[in-house]
Amino acid sequence: METNRLLPLIGIGVMLVVVELGGALLAPLMRAAGISAFEDPSSPANPIIFLVLLLGFTAVLLLLIRFGMRRLITGIVLVSIGLSFVYIFIAVLGAVVADPTVVLVGSLALGAAAAAVLFRYPEWYVIDLLGVVLAAGVSAIFGSSLGILPVLLLLVLLAVYDAISVYRTKHMIALAEGVLEQRAPILFIVPKRRGYSFIREGVGPVDDYPPEAGGEGGRGALLIGMGDLIMPTILVVSANVFLRAPGIGFLNGPALGAIAGSVVGMAVLLHFVDKGRAHAGLPPLNGGTILGFLAGCAATGMWAWL
Protein backbone atom coordinates (compact mmCIF):
# COMPACT_ATOMS: atom_id res chain seq x y z
CA MET A 1 0.00 0.00 0.00
CA GLU A 2 1.28 3.48 -0.89
CA THR A 3 2.46 5.67 2.00
CA ASN A 4 -0.03 8.45 1.24
CA ARG A 5 -2.89 5.92 1.42
CA LEU A 6 -1.53 4.36 4.58
CA LEU A 7 -1.28 7.58 6.61
CA PRO A 8 -5.07 8.18 6.97
CA LEU A 9 -5.51 4.60 8.13
CA ILE A 10 -2.78 5.02 10.73
CA GLY A 11 -4.40 8.29 11.81
CA ILE A 12 -7.70 6.56 12.56
CA GLY A 13 -5.90 3.85 14.55
CA VAL A 14 -4.03 6.49 16.56
CA MET A 15 -7.31 8.30 17.35
CA LEU A 16 -8.81 5.03 18.60
CA VAL A 17 -5.94 4.45 21.03
CA VAL A 18 -5.97 8.10 22.18
CA VAL A 19 -9.70 7.87 22.90
CA GLU A 20 -9.16 4.64 24.87
CA LEU A 21 -6.35 6.13 26.93
CA GLY A 22 -8.34 9.31 27.48
CA GLY A 23 -11.41 7.35 28.55
CA ALA A 24 -9.38 5.38 31.08
CA LEU A 25 -7.87 8.59 32.49
CA LEU A 26 -11.22 10.41 32.68
CA ALA A 27 -13.14 7.55 34.31
CA PRO A 28 -11.87 8.22 37.88
CA LEU A 29 -12.80 11.88 37.48
CA MET A 30 -16.32 10.93 36.37
CA ARG A 31 -16.74 8.65 39.37
CA ALA A 32 -15.40 11.30 41.74
CA ALA A 33 -17.87 13.83 40.30
CA GLY A 34 -20.75 11.37 40.70
CA ILE A 35 -21.47 11.33 36.96
CA SER A 36 -23.04 8.01 36.01
CA ALA A 37 -25.33 6.76 33.25
CA PHE A 38 -26.81 3.90 35.31
CA GLU A 39 -27.41 3.47 39.05
CA ASP A 40 -26.61 -0.25 39.13
CA PRO A 41 -23.56 -1.10 36.98
CA SER A 42 -24.27 -4.83 37.16
CA SER A 43 -27.90 -4.73 36.01
CA PRO A 44 -28.48 -6.83 32.85
CA ALA A 45 -31.23 -4.38 31.90
CA ASN A 46 -28.73 -1.61 31.25
CA PRO A 47 -27.68 -2.79 27.75
CA ILE A 48 -31.34 -3.14 26.75
CA ILE A 49 -32.09 0.39 27.97
CA PHE A 50 -29.06 1.68 26.07
CA LEU A 51 -30.17 -0.04 22.87
CA VAL A 52 -33.78 1.15 23.16
CA LEU A 53 -32.64 4.76 23.64
CA LEU A 54 -30.29 4.43 20.66
CA LEU A 55 -33.08 3.06 18.46
CA GLY A 56 -35.42 5.84 19.56
CA PHE A 57 -32.87 8.58 18.87
CA THR A 58 -32.08 7.06 15.47
CA ALA A 59 -35.78 6.85 14.57
CA VAL A 60 -36.31 10.52 15.44
CA LEU A 61 -33.37 11.61 13.28
CA LEU A 62 -34.54 9.47 10.34
CA LEU A 63 -38.03 11.00 10.55
CA LEU A 64 -36.56 14.49 10.56
CA ILE A 65 -34.46 13.63 7.50
CA ARG A 66 -37.50 12.20 5.73
CA PHE A 67 -39.48 15.40 6.28
CA GLY A 68 -36.58 17.66 5.34
CA MET A 69 -36.07 19.15 8.81
CA ARG A 70 -32.32 19.10 8.49
CA ARG A 71 -31.59 22.27 10.44
CA LEU A 72 -33.44 20.80 13.38
CA ILE A 73 -31.16 17.77 13.12
CA THR A 74 -28.13 20.04 13.36
CA GLY A 75 -29.62 21.70 16.43
CA ILE A 76 -30.36 18.40 18.15
CA VAL A 77 -26.88 17.05 17.42
CA LEU A 78 -25.13 20.21 18.63
CA VAL A 79 -27.23 20.44 21.81
CA SER A 80 -26.46 16.79 22.57
CA ILE A 81 -22.75 17.39 21.97
CA GLY A 82 -22.79 20.56 24.07
CA LEU A 83 -24.43 18.78 27.02
CA SER A 84 -21.94 15.93 26.77
CA PHE A 85 -19.08 18.43 26.92
CA VAL A 86 -20.69 20.04 29.98
CA TYR A 87 -20.50 16.73 31.86
CA ILE A 88 -16.91 16.22 30.76
CA PHE A 89 -15.88 19.67 31.94
CA ILE A 90 -17.74 19.23 35.23
CA ALA A 91 -15.59 16.17 35.94
CA VAL A 92 -12.35 17.84 34.82
CA LEU A 93 -12.91 21.22 36.50
CA GLY A 94 -14.28 19.52 39.62
CA ALA A 95 -10.92 17.84 40.08
CA VAL A 96 -9.07 21.17 40.27
CA VAL A 97 -11.67 23.74 41.44
CA ALA A 98 -13.32 23.56 44.86
CA ASP A 99 -16.23 25.95 44.27
CA PRO A 100 -19.17 24.00 42.73
CA THR A 101 -20.72 27.18 41.34
CA VAL A 102 -17.54 28.01 39.45
CA VAL A 103 -17.38 24.44 38.17
CA LEU A 104 -20.97 24.53 36.91
CA VAL A 105 -20.75 27.97 35.30
CA GLY A 106 -17.37 27.21 33.76
CA SER A 107 -18.56 23.86 32.42
CA LEU A 108 -21.68 25.40 30.87
CA ALA A 109 -19.59 28.10 29.22
CA LEU A 110 -16.99 25.66 27.89
CA GLY A 111 -19.64 23.22 26.66
CA ALA A 112 -21.47 25.99 24.83
CA ALA A 113 -18.19 27.24 23.37
CA ALA A 114 -17.27 23.77 22.08
CA ALA A 115 -20.67 23.37 20.40
CA ALA A 116 -20.44 26.89 18.94
CA VAL A 117 -17.00 26.21 17.45
CA LEU A 118 -18.28 23.01 15.84
CA PHE A 119 -21.28 24.88 14.42
CA ARG A 120 -19.40 27.93 13.14
CA TYR A 121 -16.25 26.22 11.86
CA PRO A 122 -16.78 22.47 11.28
CA GLU A 123 -13.46 21.84 9.59
CA TRP A 124 -12.16 18.28 9.77
CA TYR A 125 -9.37 18.97 12.25
CA VAL A 126 -11.73 20.85 14.58
CA ILE A 127 -14.22 17.97 14.45
CA ASP A 128 -11.49 15.39 15.05
CA LEU A 129 -9.84 17.25 17.93
CA LEU A 130 -13.04 17.96 19.83
CA GLY A 131 -14.38 14.56 18.80
CA VAL A 132 -11.51 12.77 20.53
CA VAL A 133 -12.27 14.64 23.76
CA LEU A 134 -15.99 13.98 23.38
CA ALA A 135 -15.55 10.27 22.63
CA ALA A 136 -13.17 9.80 25.56
CA GLY A 137 -15.56 11.57 27.93
CA VAL A 138 -18.66 9.68 26.81
CA SER A 139 -16.76 6.39 27.00
CA ALA A 140 -15.62 7.24 30.53
CA ILE A 141 -19.20 7.92 31.63
CA PHE A 142 -20.65 4.69 30.23
CA GLY A 143 -17.61 2.53 30.93
CA SER A 144 -17.54 3.51 34.60
CA SER A 145 -21.32 2.97 34.83
CA LEU A 146 -21.47 -0.54 33.35
CA GLY A 147 -19.99 -3.72 34.79
CA ILE A 148 -18.13 -6.25 32.67
CA LEU A 149 -21.00 -8.59 31.81
CA PRO A 150 -23.43 -5.77 30.83
CA VAL A 151 -20.72 -4.22 28.63
CA LEU A 152 -20.03 -7.51 26.89
CA LEU A 153 -23.76 -7.99 26.24
CA LEU A 154 -24.03 -4.40 24.99
CA LEU A 155 -21.13 -4.80 22.55
CA VAL A 156 -22.58 -8.01 21.12
CA LEU A 157 -26.05 -6.46 20.70
CA LEU A 158 -24.62 -3.33 19.07
CA ALA A 159 -22.46 -5.35 16.68
CA VAL A 160 -25.54 -7.25 15.50
CA TYR A 161 -27.57 -4.04 15.23
CA ASP A 162 -24.81 -2.26 13.30
CA ALA A 163 -24.53 -5.09 10.78
CA ILE A 164 -28.31 -5.12 10.22
CA SER A 165 -28.55 -1.34 9.93
CA VAL A 166 -25.73 -1.09 7.37
CA TYR A 167 -26.11 -4.22 5.26
CA ARG A 168 -29.81 -5.08 5.49
CA THR A 169 -32.00 -2.05 6.25
CA LYS A 170 -29.25 0.46 5.26
CA HIS A 171 -30.86 3.08 7.48
CA MET A 172 -27.53 3.86 9.13
CA ILE A 173 -26.12 4.89 5.74
CA ALA A 174 -29.17 7.11 5.13
CA LEU A 175 -28.71 8.63 8.59
CA ALA A 176 -25.01 9.33 8.02
CA GLU A 177 -25.65 10.93 4.62
CA GLY A 178 -28.49 13.08 5.96
CA VAL A 179 -26.50 14.37 8.90
CA LEU A 180 -23.36 14.95 6.84
CA GLU A 181 -25.29 17.17 4.46
CA GLN A 182 -25.70 19.59 7.37
CA ARG A 183 -22.01 19.30 8.29
CA ALA A 184 -23.07 17.98 11.70
CA PRO A 185 -19.99 16.66 13.54
CA ILE A 186 -20.89 13.04 14.29
CA LEU A 187 -18.04 11.37 12.38
CA PHE A 188 -14.28 11.44 12.50
CA ILE A 189 -12.93 12.72 9.19
CA VAL A 190 -9.40 11.90 8.05
CA PRO A 191 -8.26 13.52 4.76
CA LYS A 192 -6.82 11.35 2.01
CA ARG A 193 -4.96 14.23 0.39
CA ARG A 194 -3.23 17.46 1.31
CA GLY A 195 -5.34 20.59 1.16
CA TYR A 196 -8.65 18.79 1.76
CA SER A 197 -11.41 20.89 3.39
CA PHE A 198 -14.57 19.40 4.82
CA ILE A 199 -16.26 22.81 4.82
CA ARG A 200 -15.62 23.39 1.10
CA GLU A 201 -15.88 19.87 -0.26
CA GLY A 202 -17.85 17.71 2.13
CA VAL A 203 -17.15 14.01 1.70
CA GLY A 204 -19.45 12.83 -1.08
CA PRO A 205 -21.83 9.87 -0.77
CA VAL A 206 -21.09 7.62 2.19
CA ASP A 207 -21.34 4.50 0.01
CA ASP A 208 -19.23 5.80 -2.86
CA TYR A 209 -16.62 3.80 -4.80
CA PRO A 210 -13.26 5.47 -5.51
CA PRO A 211 -11.60 5.12 -8.93
CA GLU A 212 -9.13 2.52 -7.64
CA ALA A 213 -12.11 0.33 -6.67
CA GLY A 214 -13.74 0.62 -10.08
CA GLY A 215 -16.02 3.57 -9.36
CA GLU A 216 -16.31 7.03 -10.83
CA GLY A 217 -16.10 9.12 -7.69
CA GLY A 218 -14.13 8.87 -4.52
CA ARG A 219 -14.38 10.73 -1.25
CA GLY A 220 -11.67 13.12 -0.22
CA ALA A 221 -11.55 11.68 3.28
CA LEU A 222 -12.00 8.50 5.24
CA LEU A 223 -14.97 8.47 7.62
CA ILE A 224 -15.52 6.57 10.82
CA GLY A 225 -18.39 7.06 13.23
CA MET A 226 -17.77 8.34 16.74
CA GLY A 227 -19.62 5.31 18.02
CA ASP A 228 -17.02 3.07 16.39
CA LEU A 229 -14.42 4.55 18.73
CA ILE A 230 -16.68 4.94 21.76
CA MET A 231 -18.04 1.38 21.98
CA PRO A 232 -14.69 -0.48 22.20
CA THR A 233 -13.48 2.13 24.68
CA ILE A 234 -16.43 1.41 26.98
CA LEU A 235 -15.06 -2.10 27.54
CA VAL A 236 -11.53 -0.75 28.06
CA VAL A 237 -12.81 1.65 30.72
CA SER A 238 -15.07 -0.90 32.39
CA ALA A 239 -12.25 -3.44 32.61
CA ASN A 240 -9.93 -0.85 34.10
CA VAL A 241 -12.51 0.37 36.63
CA PHE A 242 -14.08 -2.88 37.85
CA LEU A 243 -11.19 -5.36 37.69
CA ARG A 244 -8.19 -5.51 39.99
CA ALA A 245 -5.54 -7.12 37.83
CA PRO A 246 -1.84 -6.48 37.23
CA GLY A 247 -0.94 -4.32 34.28
CA ILE A 248 1.28 -1.52 33.07
CA GLY A 249 0.99 2.05 34.33
CA PHE A 250 -2.62 3.08 34.86
CA LEU A 251 -4.00 0.23 32.73
CA ASN A 252 -4.55 -3.33 33.92
CA GLY A 253 -4.00 -6.44 31.81
CA PRO A 254 -7.59 -6.97 30.61
CA ALA A 255 -7.84 -3.30 29.59
CA LEU A 256 -4.55 -3.52 27.71
CA GLY A 257 -5.77 -6.67 25.99
CA ALA A 258 -8.98 -4.89 24.98
CA ILE A 259 -6.97 -2.04 23.48
CA ALA A 260 -4.78 -4.44 21.52
CA GLY A 261 -7.83 -6.33 20.29
CA SER A 262 -9.58 -3.15 19.22
CA VAL A 263 -6.54 -2.12 17.16
CA VAL A 264 -6.61 -5.48 15.38
CA GLY A 265 -10.35 -5.08 14.80
CA MET A 266 -9.78 -1.59 13.43
CA ALA A 267 -7.13 -2.91 11.03
CA VAL A 268 -9.62 -5.48 9.75
CA LEU A 269 -12.30 -2.81 9.34
CA LEU A 270 -10.01 -0.34 7.57
CA HIS A 271 -8.88 -3.02 5.12
CA PHE A 272 -12.44 -3.01 3.78
CA VAL A 273 -13.23 0.68 4.32
CA ASP A 274 -10.23 1.69 2.20
CA LYS A 275 -11.87 -0.04 -0.73
CA GLY A 276 -14.51 2.67 -0.73
CA ARG A 277 -17.80 1.14 0.36
CA ALA A 278 -19.55 1.72 3.69
CA HIS A 279 -19.09 -1.10 6.18
CA ALA A 280 -20.44 -1.86 9.64
CA GLY A 281 -17.64 -0.96 12.03
CA LEU A 282 -18.81 -2.55 15.25
CA PRO A 283 -18.69 -6.26 14.29
CA PRO A 284 -14.88 -6.31 13.80
CA LEU A 285 -14.21 -3.61 16.39
CA ASN A 286 -16.33 -5.05 19.18
CA GLY A 287 -15.31 -8.59 18.29
CA GLY A 288 -11.62 -7.74 18.38
CA THR A 289 -11.99 -5.80 21.64
CA ILE A 290 -13.83 -8.66 23.34
CA LEU A 291 -11.27 -11.24 22.20
CA GLY A 292 -8.42 -8.98 23.35
CA PHE A 293 -10.12 -8.48 26.70
CA LEU A 294 -10.49 -12.23 27.16
CA ALA A 295 -6.82 -12.70 26.24
CA GLY A 296 -5.90 -10.10 28.87
CA CYS A 297 -8.01 -11.93 31.43
CA ALA A 298 -6.30 -15.20 30.56
CA ALA A 299 -2.85 -13.62 30.84
CA THR A 300 -3.60 -12.21 34.31
CA GLY A 301 -5.84 -15.00 35.58
CA MET A 302 -8.64 -12.49 36.11
CA TRP A 303 -11.95 -14.37 35.81
CA ALA A 304 -13.67 -13.00 38.91
CA TRP A 305 -16.18 -11.13 36.73
CA LEU A 306 -17.76 -14.38 35.47
- Average confidence (pLDDT) over 45-74: 88
Q: What Rg value do the Cα atoms of the chain yield, rounded?
A: 19
Cα gap 87→94, rounded to integer Å: 10
> Which range among 31-40, 121-130, 185-194, 290-299 shows the weakest confidence by mean pLDDT?
185-194
Residue 192 has a pLDDT of 84
> What average pLDDT score do residues 168-178 get?
78
> Is the model's pLDDT at 50 over the cut of 80?
yes
Q: What is the pLDDT of residue 233?
A: 98
- Determine which of 180-189, 205-214, 290-299 has the lowest per-residue pLDDT on average: 205-214
Amino acid 90 reads I
Is the pLDDT assigned to residue 101 strictly greater than 50? yes
Percentage of residues in the chain with pLDDT exceeding 90? 62
> Cβ distance 124 to 223 under 8 Å?
no
pLDDT above 50 for 214: no
Predicted pLDDT at 276: 57
What is the average pLDDT across 253-260? 98
The DSSP output letter for 98 is: -
* Residues shown for the chain: 306
Where does 37-169 have alpha helices with state H?
A: 45-66, 70-94, 100-120, 124-143, 148-163
Task: List the alpha helices (DSSP H) in 145-248.
Answer: 148-163, 171-181, 198-201, 226-242
Q: Which one has a higher pLDDT value, 194 or 268?
A: 268
Query: Above 60 in pLDDT, residue 89?
Result: yes
What's the rounded Cα separation, in Å, for the pair 222 and 179? 16
CA–CA separation, 128 and 110 (whole Å): 17
- As to burial, measured by CB atoms within 10 angstroms (0-12 exposed, 13-18 middle, 19+ buried), residue 96 is exposed
The most confident of the ranges 45-59, 114-128, 166-180, 281-295 is 281-295
Per-residue pLDDT for 155 more than 80? yes
Q: What is the phi-psi region of residue 276: left when phi exceeds 0, alpha when psi lies from -120 to 50, beta otherwise?
A: left
Residue 212 pLDDT: 45
